[in-house]
Chain A
Amino acid sequence: MDTFALLAHGLAVAVQPMNLLFALVGVLLGTAVGVLPGIGPALTVALLLPITYKLDPGGSLIMFAGIYYGGMYGGSTTAILINTPGESASMATALEGNKMAKAGRGGPALATAAIGSFVAGTIATLGLTFLAPWLVDVAVKFGPEDYFALMCVAFITVSATFGDSPVRGLTSLFIGLALGLVGIDRLTGQARLAFGVPELLDGVEVTTLAVGLFAVGEALYVASRLHHTTETLEAVRGSLWMTKEDWKRSWKPWLRGTAFGFPIGALPAGGAEIPTFLSYSTERRLAKHPEEFGHGAIEGVAGPEAANNASAAGTLVPLLTLGLPTSATAAMMLAGFQQYGLNPGPLLFAEKPDLVWGLIASLFIANTMLLVLNLPLVGLWVRLLRIPQPWLYAGILVFATMGTIAAKPSVVELSMLVGFGVLGFLMRRFDFPIAPVIVGLILGPIAESQLRRALSISLGDPMVLLQSPISATLLAIALLALILPFAMQGLARFKADAD
């Protein structure tokens, strides 16, 4: 069927004034909650569900889509400005983005994030439009062994983010892997390292760890140095806007980030974190100025931010075509569909084309709105950094605590936040990189359960990892990524010797 005609029809539905209003409300709400760590888009949609009960299905689903995209974007604003990622997917953005903000380049960082999100969101939504039915066939072929191989690729490439000292990087990674073991073992249902504390049974919450390490740790570190150094934050240095050089350095990472985010987001167990980390480490390897990484390289913001938004669109592929929610927000949107007696799945495209194409079209609109909304605000946002440091960091602490409590109202969760804050402080003080801890916590449990699932299905035969073509290919890529840097080094030395 001619997709274009359907999409045009969908656009006609989405640009009705009422629906535009719903999209605007959604985007505003989404951005607002994305800013608060812990209160994610899922909770917002959950709170709105009873209210939207009386609205027409099209309008409220359009609003939910706006919240989703807005939330993905809002998280990156705080990540860049105050080193507090609103959700785990904007963690990679915080790495370089906050360094840029501290060097007075917060404006360009926010701009490249906004434009990158727009570009990625638009391309990924196009992908959703045209590739969804095909992509979903590929996605369901991904078995546990293939996911495990994908994790191997992620582990090896991400080890590039470990900074200058591999030993310190690996130490951090293993802290993360150890934290990942806490909680109920997914395959046998038995508790591990929970010490009888019920709150630990579900494992360590990624946002609690990230907010603790990044925001609380940073606040403690700054407080400890306040009278030692006179490090001043420069709110703005140079142009608030992206320079020609910034554009030149951003557009390729945007595209590469999209290429990571959309397909991995479309995988039923893909998620948004893996593509952002993959994108970050890829940009770090490909950058013309790798020495800038760790001091505020714009590529390190542009790529992950694009990957983040592209994966949000990717998530809608299994949701719309299979009725398979692969993120908490998607699960809430599914509940939204069901509220109107609609069942997402293979029949939805055939039974309710108006609604599906209206939703897809409104994604384009939500994206445009996000850009229009956020670019003028960049100037306002960076002024946040002019707030005197003690006030700013006190505010950050309040923010971090509130968000954590809102997500999980328990004393244990708050104590963990403080504990991770102290850990983050010590790691900064003794120069250990922080990102690998979070990478370990996210990827470790996935890799473990997927490997065990694969072996369980194959009745313990490890050959299953090589028999699947997808897995074999991915493992080969991982092996190459591992050997290639050494081989190149050896080759260079060999050449030098020959000279």
Chain B
Amino acid sequence: MTTLRSATRHSVTRRFSLAASAALLAMAVSMPAQAQAPMELKIIAPAAPGGGWDQTARAMQQALVAAGLAKSVQVVNVPGAGGSVGIAQFATGAKGDGKQLMVNGFVMVGALLTNKSPVTLDQVTPIARLTEETQVIVVPANSPIKNAKDLAAAVKTDVAKVTWAGGSAGGTDHITAALFAKAAGADATKVNYIPFSGGGESLAAVLGGKVTAGISGYGEYEGQIKAGKLRAIGLTAPERIPGLDVPTFKEQGFDVVITNWRSVMAPPGITPEQRAALVDLVGKMVKSPAWTEILKQKGWDDAYLPGDGFAAFLKTEQTRVRDILTTIGLVKS
């Protein structure tokens, strides 16, 4: 009896010392990282909980803390008008603060234009592009339209008769429809685009055969495409995406290239050192295993593009979006 008990005690102490040494080891490993940048960050998600920007902000929170790059990260939702409310608060309230970031993306470029926002993207400091998602155009499985050529023919015959379902007016989906009509040689100003509220209400309209075609991020329609209820006509990615059995529009001969990218911005008025530190921080984050794991889980494509490269990219996107939105008539030139 005594021997048994002592044996147990022995194994317990041994297990304890093992655990303690493991903890010490872990501390030793994480020490340098902590010594480098024990930051307390605040990330603004200029949208309601649940959307893409909110998820990106929370994913960053998770990765930054897991990788020991930040001591704590607070996510604040400031929803409203495609991010117009959030960026306005960010540009004034966080001015010169090197410990705040804001998540945004392609949709904000258009939203700021259509909402005639007094605050523009030129007023914040671009840090990095993080992820992107390709757009897909689908038709119901029983539609006579089989590929991009059929769809283009239909658009060319009578552009108003082809009805498109997608997200909010002036958003990525709307711009995709306009780009396709333009590429098909039809009058893009007459595109009959029907905006639905977010969250895939448009999916129901496509499945129910109420519209000719639907547009959304690939992830949102993926399940239905795999289940054979929707037919994917084409992807808007510049090149074929490995693992997806859907051709791009480019390889079908239509110049429709657009991705819904998401990025992270810093406030205006920060010093070059602060900017460099934030670019560096995000650069370390995207290389962390935690971030890679999150990208895999969420099905987001890595589109990391830091600092000046991103700033230049942003400029070209702003010009392009303004042109398209002017064509559609949402922005007066």
Chain A residues in the interface with B (C-beta under 8 A): 42-43, 45-46, 49-50, 53, 139-144, 184-191, 198-199, 201-202, 268-269, 318, 322-326, 328, 330-332, 334-335, 338-341, 343-348, 408-410, 453, 456-457, 459
**Taking CB as reference atom, which chain A residue is nearest B55?**
A335
A316 → chain B, closest Cβ, in Å?
14
Chain B contacts for A143, CB-based, 8 A: 205, 208, 210
Q: Could you give 27 example pairs across A and B, Cβ below 8 Å? A: A43-B49, A46-B54, A140-B204, A144-B205, A144-B210, A184-B169, A187-B169, A189-B195, A198-B80, A198-B84, A201-B85, A269-B197, A269-B204, A324-B199, A324-B203, A325-B200, A328-B48, A328-B49, A328-B50, A332-B49, A343-B222, A409-B78, A410-B78, A410-B85, A453-B196, A457-B192, A457-B210
Chain A contacts for B227, CB-based, 8 A: 345-347
How many residues from B make CB contacts under 8 Å with A? Answer: 57
- Scan residues 272-322 of chain B and give those whose CB is less than 8 A from a CB of chain A: 296-299
Q: Assuming the A-B contacts A42-B49, A42-B50, A345-B227, are A191 and B115 also in contact, with contact meaning beta carbons closer than 8 angstroms in the complex?
A: yes
Q: Is the interface of B mostly helix, strand, loop or mixed?
A: mixed
Query: Considering the chains assembled together, what is the distance between the CA atoms of A3 and B320 in angstroms?
Result: 53
B241 → chain A, closest Cβ, in Å?
17
A51 → chain B, closest Cβ, in Å?
10
CB contact between B203 and one of A46, A186, A322 (< 8 Å): that residue:
A322
Whether the Cβ atoms of B169 and A326 lie closer than 8 Å is no
Chain B contacts for A50, CB-based, 8 A: 58, 61-62
Chain B contacts for A201, CB-based, 8 A: 80-81, 84-85, 115
Whether the Cβ atoms of A198 and B223 lie closer than 8 Å is no
Chain B contacts for A331, CB-based, 8 A: 50-51, 199
Query: Considering the chains assembled together, what is the distance between the CA atoms of A49 and B195 in angstroms?
Result: 30
Chain A contacts for B195, CB-based, 8 A: 186-187, 189
Q: Assuming the A-B contacts A50-B61, A191-B115, are A142 and B208 also in contact, with contact meaning beta carbons closer than 8 angstroms in the complex?
A: yes
Inter-chain residue pair count (beta carbon < 8 A):
156
Whether the Cβ atoms of A189 and B169 lie closer than 8 Å is yes
Whether the Cβ atoms of B222 and A457 lie closer than 8 Å is no
Chain A contacts for B50, CB-based, 8 A: 42, 46, 325, 328, 331-332, 334-335
B58 → chain A, closest Cβ, in Å?
6
Whether the Cβ atoms of A198 and B115 lie closer than 8 Å is yes
The 10 closest A-B pairs by CB, nearest first: A345-B223, A189-B169, A46-B49, A201-B81, A331-B50, A346-B227, A268-B204, A140-B208, A140-B207, A189-B170
Query: Considering the chains assembled together, what is the distance between the CA atoms of A175 and B170 in angstroms?
Result: 29
Report if B67 contacts A (CB, 8 A).
no
- Scan residues 146-200 of chain B and give those whose CB is less than 8 A from a CB of chain A: 160-161, 163, 168-170, 192, 194-197, 199-200
Chain A contacts for B79, CB-based, 8 A: 202, 408
Report if B34 contacts A (CB, 8 A).
no
Report if B121 contacts A (CB, 8 A).
no
Q: Assuming the A-B contacts A188-B330, A201-B84, A456-B163, are A346 and B229 also in contact, with contact meaning beta carbons closer than 8 angstroms in the complex?
A: yes
Chain A contacts for B210, CB-based, 8 A: 143-144, 457
Query: Considering the chains assembled together, what is the distance between the CA atoms of A326 and B84 in angstroms?
Result: 24
Report if B326 contacts A (CB, 8 A).
no
Report if B270 contacts A (CB, 8 A).
no
**Taking CB as reference atom, which chain A residue is nearest B117?**
A198
Report if B131 contacts A (CB, 8 A).
no
Most buried by B among A43, A45, A53: A53
Whether the Cβ atoms of A453 and B194 lie closer than 8 Å is yes
Q: Assuming the A-B contacts A332-B49, A335-B55, A343-B223, are A325 and B169 also in contact, with contact meaning beta carbons closer than 8 angstroms in the complex?
A: no
Report if B201 contacts A (CB, 8 A).
yes
Report if B260 contacts A (CB, 8 A).
no
Report if B226 contacts A (CB, 8 A).
yes
Whether the Cβ atoms of A42 and B48 lie closer than 8 Å is yes
**Taking CB as reference atom, which chain A residue is nearest B296?**
A341
A106 → chain B, closest Cβ, in Å?
32
B265 → chain A, closest Cβ, in Å?
17
Most buried by B among A189, A335, A348: A189
A122 → chain B, closest Cβ, in Å?
27
- Scan residues 199-217 of chain B and give those whose CB is less than 8 A from a CB of chain A: 199-201, 203-205, 207-208, 210-211
Query: Considering the chains assembled together, what is the distance between the CA atoms of A453 and B201 in angstroms?
Result: 12
